[in-house]
Structure 1
Amino acid sequence: MLDKTIQLDFGSVRIKENILIAKLNEGILFDVENNQKLLVLGQEVFKDKNYGYISHRVNSYAVDPLVYFESAQVENLKAIAVVSDNEMTRRNAEEVERKFYKDSNCFGVFKTLEEAEQWIKTKI
């Protein structure tokens, strides 16, 4: 079973089985350039296998919604989840970010990492 963590200039990414779990740095703007680095990492690690992505939002940062259009083009990225214990962060992801992803049924918002991991497993 694969389980390792990689440090990037904008945060850390844990690779766990068939899921990328990102904890991004406080105060960054997660933009298309940063997203491209995650997508390349996903392609390198998973090749043509299906996988999911979890944004574990322990820090506060901004997300450029255009990242979802780019992510939607990746055939084997089957689901995106946002995890936060902050109600405002979850609500923003649910009401705003979800609208930018190709399939709202493959975009989930959760309070715990465990819930998100279980949900992603049902999508891939």
Structure 2
Amino acid sequence: MPTEKIDLDFGQVTIHENILIAKLNEGVLFDVENNKKLLALGKQFFRDKNYGYISHRVNSYAVDPMVYFESANTQNLKAIAVVSENEMTRRNADQVERKFYKGSNSFEVFQTLEEAVQWIKTKI
């Protein structure tokens, strides 16, 4: 059950007990500046508590893989999941984006939001 929904200029974020779920707008370039806004929300809502991030990709948009360097260095961000029904989007996240995520924390790709939520819960 979401605790809060936040509209940003590049999409909508839903804050759950220990999960931040983002649905970004069609055509957005998700870059380092946008990622800093998401990480700031994580810091604001979760403080020092461990949490996970789910990129729920219902729209088509581009991701600057540089975002993963800063995310990998966020101590209490323990897991990142990408969710998409689109096979090509999942394959790109798995084969390309994953290579840029160099943190000790986990990165996985899923077809459904429910699978991602269950996986995140095992990581935090």
Common fold, TM-score beyond 0.5? yes
SS at match of 2:22: strand
Deviations 1:3-42 (A, max 9, x none): 2110001000000110000000000100000000000010
Which segments of 5 or more consecutive residues in structure 1 lack a partner in the other structure? Answer: none
Q: TM-score, normalised by structure 1?
A: 0.96
1:114 corresponds to: 114
In the comparison of the two structures, how many residue pairs are matched?
A: 124
Deviations 1:27-73 (A, max 9, x none): 01000000000000100000000000000000000000000001011
Shift of 1:2: 5.7
Root-mean-square deviation (CA, aligned residues, Å) is 1.3
Which segments of 5 or more consecutive residues in structure 2 lack a partner in the other structure? Answer: none
The aligned runs of 1:1-124 (5 Å cut-off) are: 3-103=3-103, 106-124=106-124
Which stretches of structure 1, 4 residues or more, deviate above 3 A after TM superposition? none
Q: Pick closer, same or farther for the CA change 1:104–1:61 going to 2, 3 Å.
A: farther
Instruction: Give the distance between the partners of 2:2 and 2:46, measured in 1 at CA.
Output: 11
Instruction: Give the distance between the partners of 2:12 and 2:50, measured in 1 at CA.
Output: 21
Aligned-pair identity in percent equals 78
Deviations 1:76-117 (A, max 9, x none): 000000000000000000000001112487001000000000
| 8 Å contact from structure 2 (residues 20, 42) kept in 1 | yes
